[in-house]
Chains A and B, each alone.
Chain A
Amino acid sequence: MIKLNSAQVWVHDQEEALAFYTAKLGMEVRADVTLPELGDFRWLAVGPAGQPDVAIVLMAIPGPPVMDAETAEQVKTLMAKGFAGTIFLGTDDVYTDVEALKSRGVQFVEEPEERPYGIDSSFRDPSGNHIRLTQVREIAAV
């Protein structure tokens, strides 16, 4: 049986991302390992407190030899433009969570909005990654 363990997002600064995902979003650190033999590669993963078996890997954009300078620049630019991907988070109380996140300085791009599938909102992480926070409505099986 295949399960989701973790998915990765690029971040432009791991420290800044770590502070955002933990102090602001309330996630836990799942792994934080730096390997000198790999050019100080840092494997950094966070995850929601209620979901110990799922993590988001906050990956720094590498330089050569992993990624040539031009490619790294393209990825940085795509990320800064907000087109490097989306994280879809769920909650059972979106209005309370949105207020809590705002009180910690998170700026919302989309205020909670009633949609047929639930109540949906969005914001960005410091790198520009698009994060949605959705209270999914129970929908009868199709």
Chain B
Amino acid sequence: MAFVPPARHLLRAKDLADARYFEPLDVDDLAHAAGLSRAYFSREFRRAFGEPPHAYLLTRRLERAAALLRTTDRSVAEICFAVGLKSVGSFTTSFTRTFGASPTAYRATFPPASAHALVPACVVRAYGRPQVRTFREDVAAAPA
């Protein structure tokens, strides 16, 4: 059995956020995927990837929501639930703060889906994920 670098366990948690963001995941689930206690996990995740795990999970959800706004005609509420968020109100607040426009206004600024032709999904997911401006509303929404 090969020695596994510690960061590989953190990557499992990051991959879980990327793979199952649409489920009711929280930081405890991510810590569990890494096999670490929640507090230690949060510190180590931040050290490895430069942002805390709940911020990564939230911005993954917002990135997916932005992609769905650009490329589908589903309603804002439907998209909120489709990316694993539970409150349309805090989704709209987080989205607006992060992207500088409400979900509806954001959608209106983009050309139709066909214009997004050849860029690989991994590029969309990696480069489209916003940086958190603040995540107060996420903390409020998350279980204590």
Interface of B is mostly: helix
Could you show 25 A-B contacts with beta carbons less than 8 Å apart? Answer: A12-B2, A12-B4, A13-B2, A16-B2, A77-B5, A77-B7, A80-B10, A80-B11, A81-B10, A82-B15, A107-B15, A108-B19, A110-B121, A111-B19, A116-B113, A116-B114, A117-B117, A117-B118, A117-B120, A120-B120, A120-B121, A122-B121, A128-B8, A132-B122, A139-B117
* B contacts, CB < 8 Å to A: 2-8, 10-11, 14-15, 18-19, 48-49, 113-114, 116-122, 125
- B4 to chain A: closest CB distance in Å? 7
Q: Across the interface, do B11 and A82 meet the contact criterion of CB distance under 8 Å?
A: yes
Q: Across the interface, do A110 and B18 meet the contact criterion of CB distance under 8 Å?
A: yes
Q: Across the interface, do B5 and A76 meet the contact criterion of CB distance under 8 Å?
A: yes
- A60 to chain B: closest CB distance in Å? 10
- Residues of A in contact (CB 8 Å), total 31
- Candidates B3, B117, B125; contact of A116 at CB < 8 Å: B117
Whether A104 is near chain B, meaning CB under 8 Å from some CB there, is no
Known contacts A108-B19, A109-B19; decide if A81 and B48 are in contact (CB<8 Å).
yes
In the complex, residue of chain B having the shortest beta-carbon distance to the beta carbon of A16: B2
Interface of A is mostly: mixed
